[in-house]
Chain A
Amino acid sequence: MATGDRVDLLERYQHGRHRELGLTDEDVRRMYEVMLLARRLDERMWILNRTGQAPFAISGQGHEAAQVGAAWALDRERDWIYPYYRDVALVLVWGLTPRDLMLQLLGKAADPSSGGRQMPNHFSSRRLRIAPQSSVVGTQIPQAAGTALASKLEGTGAVTLVTFGEGATAQGDFHEGVNFAAIHRLPVIFFCENNGYAISVPAEKELSVPDVADRALGYGIPGVTVDGNDPFEVYRVVREAVERARAGEGPSLIEAKTYRLLAHSSDDDDSTYRPREEVEAWRQRDPLPRLAAYLKEHGLADDADLQALEEQVRQQVDDATEHAQAAPYPRAEHLLDHVTGP
């Protein structure tokens, strides 16, 4: 702790955890707004799937605090992200718009990720430094190490954040990517959103250690487990990892423990493998009402503000949906574009 930080510590503490961490009131309101937007967009995606308009839906509901907490610790103007399919809130922070998300969901020509070619939630944007994804679990991990190597060689100071589920940590790609980043002390943050399941397989049947963070032992890098439903704690540990990365001290492995509130995807029935009591218990820990309560408790918003925000978000979601519904599909003669290089 720097001397300056000591001076007003108690005062900041009085104002709430976020002030202790150096987040402004506006930061917290914005975090909540993005989380809410992600949630409502996600809900709409499922409706579009169930009404036969979207071929597939895969959900980030429950993961929003982990994603937003992590995103807030990075520099959106400079850093890279390698998201995975649950990262609706993360890519919103990174600059994809609700319209972008609905265009990609419905496979429309103007989808910025792939012009309507990829499955839903395979986000990317060259302009925003969001690297494209493969459906193959874990492949983004060594790729992120590669981007971090480039940043190191070019001396840009950029940090790469790569996200994945705990299931992905059982893949060989995870091992090769983390090992390589560890040896070369690359500026990359391996961020695991551990929701306890890889589709129907519970974590204790995928992982031989209790925490994904234990894996860090094998690479000689810091491994941290954090409550993924607490955006401030996630922010704190990711910020520390960012500081280490920018200081040339290499990668970190961060495990945010969370839960997906819905089935794995629109093609899954989770009632066959998750007891309803377990899902209900995690609903009680839903990060959204939790942060809403915090906003009210610390006088950052009242009921009327929250209501107004709901209304504003609903309009954004409606607008995005209508925009995407009206947008054209890709043209058949463009089918072979981007298949091979120019």
Chain B
Amino acid sequence: MGGGEGMAQANNPEPGRDGWTGWTPDPPPDLRDEPPERLLEYYRQMQVIRHFEERAAQAYTQGRIGGFLHLANGEEALAVGGLAALEPEDDLITHYRDHGVALARGSDPGRVMAELFGRADGVSGGRGGSMHLADAGRRFWGGHAIVGIHLPIAAGLALAHQYRKEPRVVLCIFGDGATNTGAFHEALNLAATWELPVIFLCQNNLYGMGTAIERAMRVTELHRRGAAYGIPSARINGMRLLEVRAAVASAARWAREGKGPVFLEALTYRYRGHSMADPELYRTKEELKAWRAWDPIQLFAQELLEAGVVTPEALRRADQEAEQVVEAAIAFAEQSPEPDPATLHHGVYRAPLAAALPAGGGNGVGAHLP
């Protein structure tokens, strides 16, 4: 038991220790190598999301939308860029700040708005509201309101793909705050251990409600957390659409090849409060202003114009189209009926289970209740 026998060693603070892959995402492509129509479409989608949320905020303050409303103004490039990197058969799951994600996935804006209004034609039948959008047909498994809880679900979806040997990946979006939950830890550990095809995309907007990240974790370079699980990780600029798309696409390639999960930390900012009820006492006007200079939509428009791939006229047309889409969505939501109270219990259990219960019958679980 001499001095040299002990194997104590200080931990190497740098990634690069055993099991660390040294993975880096692809850089963004040159704008001129992209079809201009596609770039214009990205721009249009971001504008739809921005207008959609502005109009939703208005409707909320007028009392036409109930419950909660969390806006993602400033985070549009993440939704549009991230989803552009997915295949339609890939899975998607996110947190409650989910309007942009649903729209970028292709859900009908009218039905998404109807959900915010709590109407029968909403994507979740008017039951979920803003935080619980979902669209199973598009493999969008929801906005989730409990912070961090959807990360283990994402790992479970990925396990299904691995088990069935299907080359599908799961994109799982969450905030910086979620990385402090036990669910994050359990999901990343299992996904890494079992090499599950999940892309963990953390939208680091520097706050969890009013708590700045440095008050909630000591490692504020969030991407470094991946090293604690042996997961390839990187920090990206979440305000640059093509950088996001390239990073998510390279992560998806890695996962699809069966090499396991990737952890991406995208730096971003939300321009509005955490939810509609937020006096924003925790941040300064200067900080907000500085981040507004990085507005993902303005930035993208500027890059497109500078590269000469679109005309100002084309952008203006896209702006108008976006406004029309959103106005139509509002009109659709307003004319949609309230859900029928008689259907309250629908969707709580699957029909076969319902049939097995006393006096259940069909989808009418609970029909026996007074």
Contact = CB atoms under 8 A, between A and B. Distances in A.
A182 B11 contact: no
Contacts of B8: 224-227, 233, 236-237
B13 interface: yes
Interface in B221-253: 224-225, 227-231
Counting chain B residues whose Cβ lies within 8 A of the other chain, the interface size class is 35 or more
B315 interface: no
Nearest to B261: A208
A307 B183 CA distance: 52
A18 to B, nearest CB: 9
Interface stretch (B50-58, B109-117, B168-176, B185-193): B185-193
A176 to B, nearest CB: 5
B192 A176 contact: no
Interface residues of A, number: 45
Nearest to A254: B8
Contacts of B17: 214
A13 B217 CA distance: 42
B9 interface: yes
B320 interface: no
Interface string B1-28: 1110111111101010111000000000
Contacts of A318: none
Contact of B218 (A183, A214, A291): A183
Given A207-B193, A208-B193, A232 B1 contact: yes
B215 to A, nearest CB: 7
Contacts of B218: 179, 182-183, 219-221
A205 B219 CA distance: 26
A182 B180 CA distance: 12
A256 B230 CA distance: 20
B184 interface: yes
A254 B133 CA distance: 43
Contacts of B189: 170, 206-208
Given A208-B193, A214-B19, A233-B8, 20 more contacts: A17-B2, A17-B3, A170-B186, A172-B181, A179-B218, A182-B218, A183-B217, A206-B189, A206-B193, A210-B18, A218-B227, A219-B217, A223-B11, A224-B9, A224-B11, A226-B7, A227-B7, A233-B5, A257-B7, A294-B1
Interface of B: 1-3, 5-11, 13, 15, 17-19, 180-186, 188-190, 192-193, 215-219, 224-225, 227-231
